[in-house]
Amino acid sequence: MKLGLRIWILIIALIISLLAINPLLAFNSGVVVKSVEKNSSAFDSGLRDGEVIVSINGEPIKSKEDYGRFMEEFFKDGQMKKIEIATKKDTYLFFANETPKITVDNLPKTRIQTGLDLRGGARALVQPNGTLTDSQLEDLISVSRNRFNVYGLSDVQIRGVSDLEGNKYMLIEVAGATPADLEKLVAQQGKFEAKIGNESVFHSGKQDITSICKNDARCAGIRSCSETSGGYQCSFDFLVYLTPEAAERHALITKNISLDETGKYLSEKLYLYVDDVEVSSLFISSDLKGKAETQISIQGYGVGSSQEEAYNEAKKEMNHLQTILQTGSLPYKLTIVKLDTISPTLGSEFSKNIIIAGAVSLLVVSIIIFVKYRKIKSSLALLFTSFSELVIILGVAAFIKWNLDLPSIAGILATIGTGVDSQIVILDEARKDITISLKERIKRALFVVFAAYATSVASLIPLGWAGAGLFKGFAITTIIGITVGVFISRPAFAEIIRKIEEE
Amino acid sequence: MENNSKISELGRIYDKYYKLLLVLPAILIILAIGYFVYFNSHEGDIIYKDVSLTGGTTISVFDEKADVSIIKEKLKTKFPDVIVREISDIRSGRQRGFFVESKAQPDELKKEIEGVLGYELNSKNSSIEFSGSSLSQGFYQQLKNAVIASFLLMSWVIFFVFVESKKIKAYTLMISASGVVLALQNVSFVKIFGGIIIFGGFVASLFSLEKKKRDFLISFGIVVASLIAYIYPKEIFLFLIVAVLIYFYAKHSVPSIAVIGCAFADIVLTIVVANLLKMQLSSAGIVALLMLIGYSVDTDVLLTTRVLKHKEESLNKRIFGAFKTGITMTLTSIGAIGVALIFTYSLSDTLRQIFSILLIGLFFDMFNTWVTNAAILKMYAEGKKIS
């Protein structure tokens, strides 16, 4: 039997989807590092999140359980020991007397990402009071992202969402382990502190900082770039305006500090802390010694292998510092309007039940189809088409990195359901015993299929916006699913049926 | 042979009584409207809402041994609105835990549950979901508007499929677009896109029409223009838009108003049953009502297409042929959704509600398609002599 173009399109779509889902990953073993606590010995050794641990001290690590068992066994005696973590990229060596402060997880078996309600995690929908413009929302998001990074939480997704009423929100999702303090992190004003030695010079907030220069080239910007050994370096500075009280404090503290050997700077640095974690340190120019200066220039630099890279790095770093200083003086009060912490406990149970439900549903549908038509070939073709539709939807979801949550899964099930319905229309029309040509009959069937498709899409579109985008998952998976169905699998099915009927 | 005569016998009975069949849906709809009036006067709304639409807390605790009835009793004293349900695994029937739902704040509810259980709740043994009340009420309002917009769009597509006149398609598109813009007026994409359609349609029709109708269109255009200017209250205008659309659809295409009406009746009757079952609808439940449109419309479109466009067979045969196909479609859907419902029944509230609503809706869809819509179509086809 010669395969027609439409069937080839279906087959190619299937192969691409399978590649997107990548079942080859199923043979991968090892655990992936989800987070590394800053300033821990593991962090200092250079280990970072995203690396895949293959073995520890020569012992192969294949799963999260292996990792847990090894650590428990290894540090049972509480002795300081050498630990050698081999990842796919490198080997990291450090000493520890307790389980390293990193979190690990099994390598994903597929590229399909499951949503929070399946794999567990925390989600907060945060509403700033007052109306924000889009750029203000962007600012807020970058400030918040920085704040989470300061805490070493990198597996955090923050995005702006708006709803049908025009309200703007920030949606924060932390996957996997649920940090109990998400609420604190979001709602509490961050504490910024600048210290010299052990003494506090100024804090973030209106008390000490009147304003920060941002986006104004006269008082903030990249000042110079120069070639250094092995690359380029660009320096920046920006002004921070202190209140007179804070300036006075600065004068008092710096009065007694000696100059360093170059004579250009004081021997003590100005350290910047965010919530008691050191994030940066600055040299203090010698002419500031003992002065009640309300304008403080904060300097820094970025390096890179090319001038452009160094420039961008410097810009990023400057923005980072400005944001940190601003964090405390965030002009918006944030309210958590929705907070979900979902335990991962039931997640695997869910997935298992959903897969079984899907399989049994398909079986039930097959039985009905077979009893009705009593034709193995056509029934199998119908089931094959539905199954490939499922694979293609999952492939698309994996490709666009869509998180499959419960509403998305319901959407997929609905799609497969309407897909089977459309196939029945085609099958029945094709098997009709009337004088009109088979081609014409299939054309008629496809008319019904397209009309039903158009109405479904029309009815789904408004959902994309309702409820701060929480139903986007459902709307998108369903629209993808029925579109795949109408343009790829249905025409292929029609062709298969035509071939079968013509035989 | 015997089979054939049976069918023709059935056909004769059907020919004689099919108009009478329309009494059934009419009674149902009247009862439903009466029920909603009664329900609304008691509850102040047309559905029971769960905490995702009113605001409140849901806590799921994974405890295989906890006695759910005792917990329920103890929590009831402090939170009278509390709902406690067991979570279990269908395959083993084992209790996996329970969940508690209340309008209370998460901290209060958590503390009370901890008091009853005697241990602390953490992210390993529990999930906590909280929605603020203004947010949830906002969601509810938005979902209602989304449903209205969905209905306007889907109705127009149906009309587009079954009506010939391009002009009337354009008018109705303009009116529907202004309805969608009104319902979703804060989405800039909708505003821009809807505005273009309305304006374009208006200009195009001004130039393409003879004088008399132009007057009508100008006055009509003013109504639309004032809509874009957001004259409140929008409910009145939405009502007006819906009324005008129904008039156009009914005047130009009885079959499409029948399809739209059936989808509407499916949803309304499903809500009635959900209310009678005291089902508290969540946001997912409302989304399921929209999913119902997709399932409901395809059988109706199939029936309408067969009756109106395929003239090789007798009218009754066409209806019966469509019925055979359509019932297979609905049965497979019921089978698949029924299985999905069983497997997720005691595990996930979200999925349980979605599948329950679809299942109820599918039963009504069988009724509405093969009793209501079939009878209307037969009447229409016989009147227009399409047989």
Both B6 and B139 in one domain: the answer is: yes
pLDDT band for position A247 (cuts 50, 70, 90): confident
B153 in a structural domain: no
Residue B372 pLDDT greater than 80, yes or no: yes
Residue A71 pLDDT greater than 90, yes or no: no
* Long-range CB pairs of A474-478, under 8 A, 24+ apart, other chains included: A474/A407, A474/A408, A474/A410, A474/A411, A474/B287, A475/A411, A476/A402, A476/A408, A476/A411, A477/A393, A477/A397, A477/A402, A477/A404, A477/A408, A477/A411, A477/A412, A477/A415, A478/A411, A478/A412, A478/A414, A478/A415, A478/B291, A478/B294
Look up residue B193 and give its two tokens.
């896109």
pLDDT at B208: 65
- For the four alpha carbons of B375, B377, B382 and B386, in that order, the dihedral sign comes to negative
Decide if B127 and A465 are in contact by the 8 Å CB cutoff.
no
Looking at A83, A106, A129, the residue that finishes a domain is A106
Both B309 and B344 in one domain: the answer is: yes
CA distance B219 to chain A (A): 29
Query: Residue A439: what residue type?
Result: K
Both B45 and B79 in one domain: the answer is: no
B212 in a structural domain: yes
**Mean pLDDT within B124-133:** 80
Interface test with B, best of A173, A367, A424 (most B CBs within 10 A): A424
d(CA A280, CA A138): 24
Whether residue A58 lies within 8 A of chain B, CB to CB, comes out as: no
A422 in a structural domain: yes
pLDDT at A378: 84
Look up residue A222 and give its two tokens.
């990249």
Both A89 and A131 in one domain: the answer is: no
**Mean pLDDT within A41-58:** 80
Look up residue A454 and give its two tokens.
């158009």
B282 in a structural domain: yes
CATH number at residue B111: 3.30.70
* Long-range CB pairs of A496-503, under 8 A, 24+ apart, other chains included: A496/A7, A496/A381, A496/A385, A497/A378, A497/A381, A497/A426, A497/A427, A497/A430, A497/A442, A498/A430, A498/A438, A498/A439, A498/A442, A499/A1, A499/A4, A500/A377, A500/A378, A500/A381, A501/A430, A501/A431, A501/A438, A502/A438
Both B240 and B378 in one domain: the answer is: no
pLDDT band for position A298 (cuts 50, 70, 90): confident
Decide if A361 and B335 are in contact by the 8 Å CB cutoff.
yes
pLDDT at A206: 63
Whether residue A286 lies within 8 A of chain B, CB to CB, comes out as: no
Query: Residue B242: what residue type?
Result: V
CATH number at residue B383: 1.20.1640
Which residues of chain A does B98 touch, with a Cβ-Cβ cutoff of 8 Å?
A: none
Nearest by CB to A407, from B141, B143, B287: name it: B287
Both A86 and A139 in one domain: the answer is: no
Looking at A81, A106, A131, the residue that finishes a domain is A106
B350 in a structural domain: yes
Both B273 and B378 in one domain: the answer is: yes
| Residue of chain A whose Cα is closest to the Cα of B158 | A455
Q: In terms of pLDDT, which residue wins out, B193 or B284?
A: B284
Element (DSSP H or E) covering residue A308: helix A307-328
Q: Phi and psi at residue B282, in whole multiples of 5°?
A: -100, 180
Pick from A13-17, A176-180, B54-58: least confident: A176-180
d(CA B282, CA A406): 13
**Mean pLDDT within A69-97:** 83
B152 in a structural domain: no
Total number of domains constituting chain B: 3
pLDDT at A330: 57
A317 in a structural domain: no
pLDDT at B1: 45
Whether residue A267 contacts residue A259, with contact meaning beta carbons closer than 8 Å, is answered with: yes
d(CA A392, CA A386): 10
Total number of domains constituting chain A: 4
B156 in a structural domain: no
Q: Determine the 3-state secondary structure of A335 from DSSP.
A: strand
**Mean pLDDT within A461-466:** 74
A318 in a structural domain: no
Pick from A357-361, B239-243, B267-271, B339-343: least confident: B239-243
Task: Select, from the ranges A47-51, A275-279, B357-361, the one with the highest average predicted confidence (pLDDT).
Answer: B357-361
Pick from A45-49, A152-156, B177-181, B351-355: least confident: A152-156
**Mean pLDDT within B61-90:** 81
Both B265 and B304 in one domain: the answer is: yes
Which residues of chain A does B338 touch, with a Cβ-Cβ cutoff of 8 Å?
A: 364
CATH number at residue A475: 1.20.1640.10
Both A492 and A384 in one domain: the answer is: yes
B157 in a structural domain: no
Both B197 and B342 in one domain: the answer is: no
Both A299 and A225 in one domain: the answer is: yes
Which residues of chain B does A470 touch, with a Cβ-Cβ cutoff of 8 Å?
A: 139, 283
CA A492 to chain centre: 36
Looking at A326, A342, A358, the residue that finishes a domain is A342
A79 in a structural domain: yes
Which residues of chain B does A341 touch, with a Cβ-Cβ cutoff of 8 Å?
A: 123, 127-129
Nearest by CB to A341, from B127, B147, B324: name it: B127
Both B355 and B266 in one domain: the answer is: yes
Query: Residue A359: what residue type?
Result: A
CATH number at residue A70: 2.30.42.10
pLDDT at B215: 57
CATH number at residue A127: 3.30.70.3400
Both B357 and B267 in one domain: the answer is: yes
Which residues of chain A does B301 touch, with a Cβ-Cβ cutoff of 8 Å?
A: 448, 451-452, 455
- For B179, the domain range is 164-252
Both B265 and B330 in one domain: the answer is: yes
Both B328 and B266 in one domain: the answer is: yes
d(CA B316, CA B307): 9
Pick from A62-76, A110-124, A152-166, B94-108: least confident: A152-166
- The per-residue b/e assignment along B160-169, b for 16 or more CB within 10 angstroms, e otherwise, is bbbbeeeebb
Contacts across the A-B interface (CB distance below 8 Å) = 263
Residue B325 CB-half CA count within 13 A: 29
CA-based nearest residue to A423, from A391, A395, A381: A381
Task: Select, from the ranges A13-27, A40-54, B359-373, the one with the highest average predicted confidence (pLDDT).
Answer: B359-373
Task: Select, from the ranges A115-119, A188-192, A326-330, B351-355, the one with the highest average predicted confidence (pLDDT).
Answer: B351-355
ipTM score assigned to the predicted complex: 0.82
Burial class (CB in 10 A: 0-12, 13-18, 19+), B117: middle
Both B263 and B291 in one domain: the answer is: yes
Decide if B294 and A414 are in contact by the 8 Å CB cutoff.
yes
Residue A275 pLDDT greater than 60, yes or no: yes
CB < 8 Å from B in window 404-423 of A? 406-407, 409-411, 413-414, 416-418, 420-422
Residue A141 CB-half CA count within 13 A: 20
CA distance B115 to chain A (A): 20
Decide if B139 and A424 are in contact by the 8 Å CB cutoff.
no
Both A352 and A471 in one domain: the answer is: yes
Both A174 and A281 in one domain: the answer is: no
Both A125 and A97 in one domain: the answer is: no
Q: In terms of pLDDT, which residue wins out, B145 or B10?
A: B145
Pick from A107-121, A362-376, A402-416, A424-438: least confident: A107-121
B151 in a structural domain: no
Decide if B351 and A448 are in contact by the 8 Å CB cutoff.
no
pLDDT at B212: 60
A176 in a structural domain: yes
d(CA A351, CA A185): 31
d(CA B387, CA B259): 20
Residue B134 CB-half CA count within 13 A: 8
pLDDT at A244: 86
Both A356 and A488 in one domain: the answer is: yes
d(CA A292, CA A33): 48
Break chain A down into helix, strand, coil percent, rounded to 5. Answer: 50, 25, 25
pLDDT at A152: 56
Both A270 and A413 in one domain: the answer is: no
* pTM of the full structure: 0.77
Other C-beta atoms lying within 10 Å of the C-beta of residue B110: 20
d(CA A27, CA A29): 6
CA distance A69 to chain B (A): 19
Decide if A414 and B135 are in contact by the 8 Å CB cutoff.
no
Q: Phi and psi at residue B111, in whole multiples of 5°?
A: -60, -45
Look up residue B125 and give its two tokens.
């043994």
CA distance A168 to chain B (A): 11
pLDDT at B262: 92
Cβ neighbors of B198 (< 8 A, separation 6 or more) are B174, B177, B178, B181, B224, B228
pLDDT band for position B225 (cuts 50, 70, 90): low
- Give the tens place of pLDDT for each residue, A129-153: 777 777 777 777 777 776 676 555 6
Residue B241, CA distances (Å) to A5, B215, B286, B381 in order: 46, 19, 23, 28
Decide if B130 and A338 are in contact by the 8 Å CB cutoff.
yes
A111 in a structural domain: no
Beta bridge partners of A277: A274
pLDDT band for position B271 (cuts 50, 70, 90): very high
- For A459, the domain range is 5-24+345-502
- Write down the mean pLDDT value for chain A: 79
